[in-house]
Amino acid sequence: MESRVDDKLLQSEKDDGEELKGRILSESTKLWRVAGPAILARISLYGMFVVTQAFIGHIGETELAAYALVQTILLGFSNGILFGMASALETLCGQAFGARQYHMMGIYMQRSWIVILATAVLILPLNIFATPILKFLGQDKEIAEAAGKIALWFIPITFYDLFNTTMQMFLQAQLKNFIIAWLAGISFPLHMILSWTLVDKLNLGVAGAMGSMVLATWLPISGLFLYVFGGWCPQTWRGFSKSAFSELWPMVKLSVSSGVMICLEMWYNSVLILVAGYMKNATIAISAFSICLNITTWELMIPLGFLSAASVRVANELGRGDAKAAKFAIKVVSGTSLSIGVVFFVLFLALGNVISYAFSSSIEVAKEVSSLSILLSFSVLLNSIQPVLTGVSLGAGWQSIVAYVNIGCYYVIGIPSGIFLCYCTSLDVKGIWIGMICGVAVQTLVLIGITGRTDWNLQVEKASARLNRWLLPDACESYDNRSNA
């Protein structure tokens, strides 16, 4: 009798295990449908910045430092605002798709374009007056002069990023972001070939490197416009609508909340680069620090792919009304991203002494980068989980809460710690990096606590209330109903 009971228990445990494996496999399939193309697209598109830095770095140390200042501070500032505001679409489109309010997704994207385009025009002077701004901030005069010329090349790249980000969020919410990966996969090798031709063969210097990036970045945007407007999204894109100009104020408020949340993260590195610019040997410090940041940021494109997946999966399930599925999706995406992060942690520990030579021929810069390799590896490990939690926040619509978390962790803990360790100890650039890690670590722990204690049934109710408040009648359905009547 006892033997039969034991057999039943074992069979029950086996069935539970098989069921769990099936659920994990099913969720992983949904996860990678979003994360796979998102990762490939982000690696390719950010890789263009890395390739450009590599070509400019071999032109000269001053040019490398100038490019680093513009990309990290000015572009980081403007794109932080624009990308952050566009992140409101991750909440709205993801939840609308889950609730089958497909016609609203195109309207949400048009509203986002109106709000973000107006913002982009307002912040355009940052690029136009880059040299006096950087001089005012106390940066080296020679570097600031070179940065002013490079900043003008970043104007079309800023507008490219605006459209690329919004359309990517629109497409990934409906599991159609494979087109983004294909287009990015074409533009990346094109940029490498163009850069080699214009810089190495035609000796066009910085203008050749930046011109190549402008051409290569706008290629995928042209393809995305053709895909969306050409009829490949029939349910979610019904053409331009007057409804895009209604309910703009709620869109502005959600966009600003998203913008503040993301900006505070993206500006964190910019502030630290600015701090590095005040050191005695600013050219070496900025160059080394920016190389490390570009390496970690390029690798960060993988966790950012999982950020997109976490946002889409959580938003879809909340829009669908399934709290348990949302919680399970968070567990699967977190475990997957962390596992990949551990692999890169080991890889960067092993390659830390040689990786800098891809970006600069300077032995001094290479030594500085090598000394930061251990900290770089720990940053990679932390970055494997923190973006996923940010994606969960976007999917659930917690932008305002996370904005306050970011202020405390980054600007009350991280930056003051980095400044203190840099200038009050002998750690120099290492001190800045340690401060950065402290801020990210605290933020990660806080977000884990918030996610773990969340009432997900309540989040389902909030998502439903938000969608119903903004819902407009579907013109096609209204026409069908009148016809049937």
Each residue of 174-227: pLDDT tens digit?
A: 888 888 888 888 888 999 999 999 988 898 988 999 999 999 888 888 899 999
Is residue 2 over pLDDT 60?
A: no
- CA dist 444 and 69 (Å) reads 27
Amino acid making up residue 354: V
Indicate if the pLDDT at residue 485 is higher than 60.
Answer: no
Per-residue pLDDT at 116 exceeds 50? yes
Residue 12 lies in a domain: no
Domain membership of residue 444 (yes or no) is yes
- The distance of Cα 179 from the centroid of its chain, to the nearest Å, equals 18
What whole-number distance in Å separates Cα of residue 356 and Cα of residue 135?
28
Residue 479's pLDDT is what? 35
Domain containing 96 equals 28-471
Please determine, for residue 228, whether its predicted confidence score (pLDDT) is greater than 90. Answer: yes
Least confident of 114-118, 185-189, 426-430: 426-430
Burial of 331 (0-12, 13-18, 19+ CB in 10 A): exposed
Among candidates 185, 165, 187, 180, which has minimal Cα distance to 79? 165
In the prediction, which pLDDT does 198 show? 92
Structural contact between residues 75 and 123, judged by C-beta atoms closer than 8 angstroms:
no
pLDDT at position 170 is: 92
Note whether 38 and 178 are within 8 A (CB).
Answer: no
Confidence grade of residue 359 (pLDDT, cut at 50, 70, 90): low
Mean per-residue pLDDT, 367-382: 80
Confidence at residue 280, expressed as pLDDT on a 0 to 100 scale: 62
Residue 42 within any structural domain of the chain: yes
The answer to whether residue 16 is domain-embedded is no
Answer yes or no: is 282 within a domain: yes
Please check the confidence at residue 480 and state whether its pLDDT lies above 50. Answer: no
The per-residue pLDDT of the chain, averaged, comes to 82
DSSP 171-194: HHHTT-THHHHHHHHHHHHHHHHH
Residue 333 CA to residue 36 CA, distance in Å, equals: 12
Total count of residues recorded for the chain = 485
Full-model pTM: 0.76
**Most confident option among 226-230, 266-270, 347-351, 368-372:** 226-230
User: What are the b/e assignments for 406-440, b being 16+ CB within 10 Å?
Assistant: beebbeebbbebbbebbeeeebbbbbbbbbbbbbb
The whole-number pLDDT of residue 477 equals 47
pLDDT at 99 over 80: yes
Report, as an integer, the average pLDDT of 317-331. Answer: 90
Is 184 inside a domain boundary?
yes
Question: Is residue 185 within 8 Å of residue 127, measured between CB atoms?
Answer: no
Q: What is the count of structural domains for the chain?
A: 1
For residue 466, what pLDDT band results from cuts at 50, 70 and 90? Answer: confident
pLDDT at residue 297, rounded to an integer: 75
Mean predicted confidence (pLDDT) in 445-449: 92
pLDDT at residue 231 tops 90: no
Q: Does 83 map to a domain?
A: yes
Classify residue 21: in a domain, yes or no.
no
The pLDDT of residue 481: 40
